[in-house]
Amino acid sequence: MDETAPAVEAANATFYTALSLANFGLMERLWLPSPDVVCIHPGWPPLHGWEDVSESWRNIFKNQGPLHVWPSEVHLRLYGQTAEVSCLENIDMNQVRRAGVLQTRATNIFRLAGDEWKMLEHHALPMPGGGARPLEPFSTN
C-alpha cells in the first residue's frame, strides 16, 4: 500500500467522527469547497456543489444531533491524487428509539488538495433488507 494510505484513512476516520458528533465545523474542514463535490445521503437525490452539500449536513446535524456511526469492512484504493474508500456504515439506532444497528454501503472519494486529503464525494446507499439488526455482543474470537 502506498505511503499516503494512512493520511487517507485518517481523513475517512475524520468523516465518521464529524458525522457521529454532528460537528459541522469538522465536516466543513474535511470537504473540498468546490462545485465539483457530490453527496448522496441514503434515500436522497444527489446533491452537487459544496453549497447544497453543506446545507444538507447543517440540516442533518440540526435535526438529528449526535449519532454513533462507524465504518467497517473498509477497503482503500489509491489513484494518484484521488482515493476511494468503500465500507459499511454502521449506525447505532438505539439512540433514536430503534433497537439495533442500521447498515448502509458507502463510497467516499477523496482528492489531494495541497497536502490534505479532502472529501470530493460521499455516496451512501441502504443495504438490502433495510432494517436495523440487533447489536451483537463484541467478541475477540
Tens-digit pLDDT profile for residues 1-12: 568 899 999 999
In the chain, the amino acid numbered 62 is K
Residue 43 CA to residue 41 CA, distance in Å, equals: 6
Using one digit for the tens of pLDDT, what is the confidence trace for 75-112?
999 999 999 999 999 998 876 666 788 899 999 999 99
pLDDT exceeds 60 at position 138:
no
Tell me the average pLDDT across 113-122.
Answer: 97
Tell the residue number behind the cell numbers 436522497, with chain if given: 44
Q: Domains (ranges, CATH) in the chain?
A: 5-126 (3.10.450.50)
Average pLDDT over residues 7-20: 97
Q: The whole model's pTM is what?
A: 0.87
- Rounded-to-integer distance, Cα 75 and Cα 94, Å: 27
**What b/e sequence results for 103-138 when a residue is b if at least 16 CB atoms lie within 10 Å of its CB, and e otherwise?**
bbbbebbbbbeeeebbbbbbbbeeeeeeebeeeeee
pLDDT of 130 reads 56
DSSP H or E stretch at residue 120: strand 116-126
Paired strand residues for 72: 88
Range with lowest mean pLDDT among 27-36, 54-63, 126-135:
126-135
* Residue bearing the bigger pLDDT, 3 or 141: 3
